Amino acid sequence: MPFSDYKTALVTGASAGMGEAIVERLCQEGIVVHAVARRHNELEQLAARTGCIPHAIDVSDVQALNDLCRDLQIDILVNNAGVSHPGSILQSQESQIETQVDVNLRAVLHLCRLLVPGMVERDRGHVINITSIAAIYNFGGNSIYHATKAGVHALSRQLRVDCYGKRVRITEICPGRVATDIFGNVTGDKEAARREFIDGFELPTAKDIADTVAFAISAPVAVNIGNIEITPTLQVPGGLSTMRPGDVAR
């Protein structure tokens, strides 16, 4: 469906990185974008630059989401907000589980609950779920992140079933490593994270993800692009490990 057939969008995690780039891209297409994030100052700067409508909301606050969406008619929902804490479930803390479930999964479920029925009623809409290659492939660490993103992966497929017969499209975008500050947000040391995860690598940028979102949205209404993996050319997800009894796991 051409962009001209959509009027409004809601983007979470909008104050930085991929969310910020997605807001900018949709605003360029003339979409009225409701930008949702926790950081008020960054949202205000984004609004001044793009004309988006800022909402300083924590997506884990369900009542705030209810209040926000009560009177909104949204054509494009981009569930982008996410948080990750490194480590295996074997060493996880209660707060790490709660935070990731609240932001990565529960908020997505509630926003779909609040906004997708209106899309179905109007026979028009597009849900973009930004997950991760961690939703599909297993690799060491970040157990809770994997589990929550896999939940959104399953939800994305289920939404296609729930919206069957209506012109509501569902796209899941699964990025690999992208040159954003997410790694620094996880560790708390942005400079060290940039040196370890960004510097010297050939990586997709936030703009690349935003352009991918635009590509999926701009397809004809008869075309639903269901799942896109976007990774660095020099990155391969997955792997296989086998050990002998007595070997030390690495």
The pLDDT value given to residue 184: 64
Q: Is 137 a catalytic residue?
A: no
Q: What is the DSSP letter of 167?
A: S
6, 137, 145, 164: which is the annotated catalytic residue? Answer: 145
Neighbours of 249 (CB within 10 A): 6
- The structure's pTM equals 0.94
**For residues 57 and 12, is the Cβ–Cβ distance under 8 A?**
no
Residues ≥6 apart with Cβ < 8 Å to 82: 13, 103, 104, 130, 132, 149, 182
Residue 189, pLDDT score = 73
**Domains in the chain: boundaries:** 3-230
User: What's the first-to-final CA gap in the chain, in angstroms?
Assistant: 48
Angle of CA points 59, 64, 67, to nearest 5°: 130
* Alpha carbons 230 and 244: distance in angstroms, whole number: 35
* Rounded Cα distance, 182 and 152, in Å: 19
* SS3 state at 102: helix
Q: What is the pLDDT along the chain (250 residues), one digit of tens a residue?
A: 567 889 999 999 999 999 999 999 999 999 999 999 999 999 999 999 999 999 999 999 999 999 999 999 999 999 999 999 888 999 999 999 999 999 999 999 999 999 999 999 999 999 999 999 999 998 887 899 999 999 999 999 999 999 999 999 999 999 999 998 776 666 667 788 788 878 888 999 999 999 999 999 999 999 999 999 999 999 998 778 888 898 877 6
Instruction: Tell me the H-state helices in 54-205.
Output: 62-69, 94-100, 107-122, 143-162, 182-187, 190-193
| CA distance to 82, 129, 226, 227, per residue, from 25 (Å) | 20, 16, 20, 20
Contact 180, 19 (CB under 8 A): no
Helices (H), 171-247: 182-187, 190-193, 206-218
The CATH T-level fold of domain 3-230 is Rossmann fold (3.40.50)
